Structure 1
Amino acid sequence: MIRTTLALLALALLGAVNPLGAQENGARAQLDRFAEGLQTLHARFEQQVISTDGAVQDRSEGEVWLRRPERFRWEYGGDFPELVVADGERVWIYDEMLEQVTVRDQGAASMDSPLTLLTDPDRLEEQFEVREMGQAEQMHLLELRARSQESEFERILLGLEAGLLKLMIMEDAFGLRTEIRFDEVEINPELDDELFYFEPPPGVDVIGGLAETAGLQ
């Protein structure tokens, strides 16, 4: 379910506008500029999951579309294609290889991770220790460390370049690291409503607490 959590985090970052008087070109200031006025986003991404010994456990790539405040579409390609769609009420996770769809309440799915508190910028510093980390690879780095031991990720590193979010690194309590690099980032493109609509293909299994409510069982 880590892909769903990461999708929710990316959506949450759209709401992270809360200027702190940071340096004009620092990471936090760039994050504020990235989010300010942002309504829609489209980007390509590459994702790696890296173990504690540095071995790459999983590598994937795809595209993401987001519409503020509550909609996203996250498409993973490669050997294990997966689609994650949030329509504002439900999150749909379609595993093509398993021919299986999981449907979850979007509010409940968001509450599974304290990362989604980023949608409430007034609580950001309440839940995370926020620290500027200088520059690397031409990016300004911002570190978020969870104050709660119940957070799914202990540490999040954001990399921003020219006012765009280019990198997210998440580390959990077991040292597993997930890195996502964004490319070809488009700000406020026109997006078709159909991107944020999902109907399970005929014949697939639909599971989850909302399957019956949605009339799919």
Structure 2
Amino acid sequence: MSLRRTTAVLSIAVLLLTAGCLGPLGLNGDDADDGPDETDALSADELVEKAHEAEAEIESIHGVQTTTIDDADGVESATFEIWHRSPSETRMEAVELDDGLGDPEIMVMNGSTTWTYDGETNQAMRMDLGFDFGEAGEAMDEFTDDLSAQLYENMTAERAGTDTIADRDVTIVELTADGGDSMYESMTLWIDDETYYPLKQVAVTDLLGSEMTTTIEFEEFSPNVEIDDERFVFEAPDGVEIIDFDDLTNEEFDDAESANATVPFALPEPEPSESFAFDSAYVSENLQGWSASLGYENETGNTLSVSVADGPHEDPIGGETVQIGDSEATLTSMEGVDYRSVQWSDGDLRYIVSGDVTEETLIEVAESIVDS
């Protein structure tokens, strides 16, 4: 699954599965049962605290929600109809998907089992998480608290007016990074005046030196509605191929030959400098295809990775165009981090050479692959 697809699906799933994750600011507001008519009297910090409580306490949600990814490659959106009841019961069905955000079309989570369905391939994947979110109790609370701290720490909240989302009155709260380490540069919440549930979120992040804006917005929102139990049962369409996640290959090897014998394509034979020695290989399989990674390390601890994957892929975000043999490649680096990569496509395969090495080393290794 590509970065954009992963971002679109997980943005929704994480929002729903980690109910209560908006209490990250270390707020100590009181627990008074303020009514919605008192929204105007609440500070930005109190509104965020109320949103935190609303997400934790809401019984169910039925709505239509759109996730939009806006980055250097353009704008793409995915719209899902969503049913959510308790931390362990969620169903998402695609309403409209842009090509870059095209899977899965259906996701159903019920207890410890999650199903995803890709209509284009008519394949369904069953994943057993090994635990039930709804029965996790204190462990789940601790997880969401930790997630909250990581997502929103070092941010300052301010009220920013009012609006209407999904035909409901909302109050806008802007959160801005205050100079410390924060996952987001900024986050804006549109908080429902009646339930205090956030009906829209806009997050701005810096990804590999390029800005990405993720918007999650309800177009329709019905809280605390009755949802039939059958909604959280996955019924496989006729002729569907069912794949159990546990049956997929996810294996580490001590030699490249064993990894090469496992994947359905030939692995490259890179020629890094003599200072780099082979370390290990890793092979994984999912609904979109296969991927393999060859790892190398030198005596000073620098690492080099050579990865190849089949299936759908997208061009990287940002970066510099370079020529690798007859192939046009993209060279990217992470701002403030000694890490860079070069990637290119050859037919149905995507190659990535990456590591905490110089650009010259990356290009030399990439050229050894293309020329072989």
The TM-score normalised by the length of structure 2 is 0.45
Aligned mates of 1:84, 1:206 — CA distance in 2: 14
- 8 A contact 1:85–1:197 mirrored in 2: yes
Give the aligned partner of residue 176 of structure 1: 212
Aligned mates of 1:186, 1:123 — CA distance in 2: 26
Describe the SS at the equivalent of 1:85: strand
Alignment pair present for 1:166 and 2:166: no
- 8 A contact 2:12–2:216 mirrored in 1: no
Root mean square deviation, CA, Å: 3.6
Runs of 4+ deviating beyond 6 Å: none
Which of these two proteins has the greater Rg computed from alpha carbons? Answer: 2
Count residues in correspondence: 201
Structure showing greater relative contact order (alpha-carbon pairs closer than 8 Å, 6 or more residues apart): 1
Which residue identity does 2:202 align to in structure 1?
Answer: I
Which residue identity does 2:157 align to in structure 1?
Answer: E
Aligned mates of 1:103, 1:36 — CA distance in 2: 27
Give the aligned partner of residue 70 of structure 1: 88
Once the 2 structures are TM-superposed, how far is the Cα of residue 66 of structure 1 from its aligned partner? 0.7
Q: Structure 1 127/179 Cα, relative in aligned 2: closer, same or farther at 3 Å? A: closer
Give the aligned partner of residue 34 of structure 1: 54
Which residue identity does 2:149 align to in structure 1?
Answer: E
Describe the SS at the equivalent of 2:149: helix
Describe the SS at the equivalent of 1:7: helix
Aligned mates of 1:89, 1:50 — CA distance in 2: 33
Equivalent in 130, 133, 156 of residue 131 of structure 1: 156
Once the 2 structures are TM-superposed, how far is the Cα of residue 195 of structure 1 from its aligned partner? 1.2
Equivalent in 115, 131, 140 of residue 172 of structure 2: 140
Q: Deviations over 1:39-88 (max 9, x none)?
A: 111111222221136x31x2232311111121111111225571111112
Aligned mates of 1:99, 1:144 — CA distance in 2: 43
- 8 A contact 2:8–2:68 mirrored in 1: no
- 8 A contact 1:165–1:182 mirrored in 2: no
Give the aligned partner of residue 113 of structure 2: 90
Q: Structure 1 154/197 Cα, relative in aligned 2: closer, same or farther at 3 Å? A: farther
Deviates more, 1:28-37 or 1:87-96: 28-37
Give the aligned partner of residue 230 of structure 2: 194
Aligned mates of 2:187, 2:125 — CA distance in 1: 27
Identity of aligned residues (%): 20
- 8 A contact 1:11–1:70 mirrored in 2: no
Which residue identity does 1:11 align to in structure 2?
Answer: L
Once the 2 structures are TM-superposed, how far is the Cα of residue 188 of structure 1 from its aligned partner? 0.9
Which residue identity does 1:209 align to in structure 2?
Answer: F
Describe the SS at the equivalent of 2:65: strand
Describe the SS at the equivalent of 1:9: helix
Aligned mates of 2:57, 2:176 — CA distance in 1: 23
Mark the runs of 5 or more structure 2 residues left unpaired by the alignment. 1-5, 31-40, 134-139, 164-170, 249-372
The TM-score normalised by the length of structure 1 is 0.72
Q: Deviations over 1:156-200 (max 9, x none)?
A: 543313123111234452533321211331111000111111133
Give the aligned partner of residue 113 of structure 1: none
